[in-house]
Amino acid sequence: MRIVVAAAVAGALLVPQPASAAPAWKNVKSKAFKTTGALLQVAAVNKKTIFAVNENGRPFHWNGKKWTAKKSPMKFRPTGLAAIGARKAWAVGYSGITPVAMYWNGKKWKKAGYQKGKFGPLDIPLIPLSLSAAKDGSVWSVAGLNSRNDGASAVRRWNGKAFVNVDVPGVAGASLTSVSVRNKNDVWLAGTTTANGTQAVATVLRLSGGQWKQVAPGGSWGVIGQPHNIIQDIAAVGPNKVWAVRAQNGGGLLRWNGSKWSEASTPLISHYALAPDGGNGAWTIPSPGTGTRSRYLHWAGKWRTVSGPARGKETYIHDIAQIPGTKQVVAVGGVVNDGKQVPVLEIYR
């Protein structure tokens, strides 16, 4: 995918590059991005359909030729974005402490319901933390108290009009942070739980054959109530290929091969998001804020650090997504310009 606004340039970028051109991260410019608010979420359907949402809930759309800014039915901070077609996309997040959601019908974004579900004596709402959708129209989300993976959590599913609660066996007592959906019969939920009230352990629940099964990686993940390891993101590529990142108190890339998990450890870097690379590897991004050039970690048998384009300003990358059917990856974030965060979009091709 080649993302720019100018039609003449866009057409040129859609032409395959010479074989001699090494893949690299490149900056994407667009008049649509001359607005306030860093991009926090991105979702790709194919080369002609990509969506992004900024920190104020403003959505953007790539139609294969140019990026355009769309109207949002509300102002909110997005925490998840998923799309399965040019006319089907969803975004979730929160406004204040209220969970919110919206749906793209091909013409406009419309507000959608998101079951609140409250926790504790203060009735604190559970806010969306992750969102995933499959081609068959299955859309799932997990909600919790916070992204640090502490406290209660809940599972929500799109019923065609709103996100409603789903009773998943084994969720009670767990703190979920991420979800990945391959189809209605293959859903992955990930987070942490505790067996003794003190030690944190990973939990990964998979819906397969109509039943939920625990397929969590082992090991100690830290102590509840303190900064402990969590599964920051999970991506199910196939029944025997699922990627996840262990983060917050160290870093590692986890891979499920259909029967067990293996881990590619990294230095003490907290991974923020991950995306498959379209082959046998995966991309991750460290916590946002890595200097005047974005930084990515790519695993393909071994770790490789790859820098993005030089900007001269502090660059924050918040989300990353593979463009299905390709080895191209798109990432979004922001830079500070005159005291304000403005959108950044980069593509690896």
Q: For 31, phi and psi rounded to 5 degrees?
A: -65, -25
pLDDT at 149: 62
Domain map (residue ranges) of the chain: 61-313
pLDDT at 265: 85
pLDDT at 31: 94
Rg (CA), the chain: 19
Please list the ranges in the chain whose pLDDT falls under 50.
Answer: 1-17
pLDDT at 4: 29
Is the domain 61-313 a CATH 2.120.10.30 member? yes
pLDDT at 148: 61
Per-residue burial over 126-160, b if 16 or more Cβ lie within 10 Å, else e, is bbbbbbbbbeeebbbbbbbbeeebbebbbbbbbee
How far, in whole angstroms, is CA 345 from its chain's centroid? 15
The CA distance from 266 to 59, in Å, is: 34
304-345 pLDDT, tens digit per residue, is 999 999 988 889 999 999 999 999 999 999 998 888 889 999
Is this model's pTM higher than 0.85 or not? yes
214-234 pLDDT, tens digit per residue, is 999 988 888 877 778 889 999
The CA distance from 126 to 122, in Å, is: 12
pLDDT at 122: 65
CB 205 within 8 A of CB 189: yes
